[in-house]
Amino acid sequence: MKTIYVDNNATTRVAPEVLEVMLPYLNEFYGNPSSMHSFGGNVAHKIKEARAKVASLINASPDEIMFTSCGTESDSTAIHAAISSVPDKKHIITSRVEHPAVKNLFEHLSKKGYRVTFVPVDRKGMLDLDYLYNSLADDTAIVSIMWANNETGMIFPVQEISQVIKTKGIVFHTDAVQAVGKLPIDVSKSEIDMLSISGHKIHAPKGIGALYVRKGTRFSPFLIGGHQEGGRRGGTENVAYIIGIGKASELAATHLEEMATRVEKLRDKLENELLKRIPNAIINGDTENRLPNTTSISFEYVEGESILLMMDELGICASSGSACTSGSLEPSHVLRAMGVPFTAAHGSIRFSLGIYSTEDEIDFIVEKLPLIIENLRTMSPFWK
């Protein structure tokens, strides 16, 4: 049975070109980049090249890029760096629809004495900018707002936000994990202080990430140890994976146009055909202001988990907007924040396409999913 993978916002396939450049640094070129000998020095040179490639993807300077283990570490590093730099400031701001890497950290900090403002969104998932700007205070240490939402694909105006935040002298961080590689990003045209990247969202392996830190931004290391990463993150470098994210970044830059054209057209075809064939189906979020690869569709009066299980039997891999797979029957915090009705939010499915998605795969989903929904609804006591 063929796997039809439309869950690219969860993770992506490692690109063959990425694996190819990584393999020599897992066996043949194993030197420590901090060593004085040329065997290690050659490895250090490859890390330098990779850093430049990641920087180029977002138009940053190479020395503004530090490597981490993942997007979550990048988020935690940025947030901890900001609050550590101004220990007298105890107010922090984020949105109600952040990824758990940010949301859960802010909730944790609220138990440590920080006053947290969670900025609401409207029914389309758009951020309430007036609420955000009116929440800024003299003791605000950091504002962290994601660039694009992982569930709905909604894009937030982080460049505009960064300009306003800059005038207040407050650090601004954005979790750009879902945006990098899908949208053109130019940090030189913004006032973003720190920006998080995850390798496995752009066809690098899991276990590698990056953090952009604008020159002049006050920074306190999260991992304290050796001199690596310019003293910003101790620990011997994950060489092969760093080389991998470098190559993935290089490839991502060449795929931006394809994401905005072919992949977006496939997404639109999937969405339009499903809405045409399945009654009581609802798009979650603004259909204009979103990532080109993502659609979140609620199928009323059925459970998202049941839909996923039946699709899985056909080899279709997607994600649910409900947290039921983690033992809870509550819809996701994103859909709840948007005010999506329970009967719809509970049956929400996220489809996230990628550069390896094909039209044949979309046709297969369009053929099979209406039958799945129809069968599930016949068993639902709420469906009439």
Helix ranges (H only) for the chain are: 16-22, 38-57, 71-85, 100-110, 129-135, 158-167, 239-258, 264-277, 304-312, 333-338, 342-345, 359-378
> Residue 277 is which amino acid?
R
CB of 146 within 8 A of CB of 178? yes
CB of 60 within 8 A of CB of 216? no
CA gyration radius, the chain: 21
Give dist(CA 370, CA 185) in Å, integer: 37
Structure token pair of residue 207: 């276990």
Q: 324 an active-site residue?
A: yes
> Residue 85 is which amino acid?
S
> Residue 320 is which amino acid?
S
CB atoms within 10 A of CB 39: 12
Give dist(CA 182, CA 12) in Å, integer: 13
Give dist(CA 151, CA 315) in Å, integer: 21
Task: Provide the CB-side half-sphere exposure for 193 (13 A, CA).
Answer: 25
Catalytic choice (55, 170, 248, 324): 324
Give dist(CA 281, CA 290) in Å, integer: 19
Buried b (16+ CB within 10 A) or exposed e, 190-209: bbbbbbbbbbbbbbbbeebb
Catalytic center residues: 324
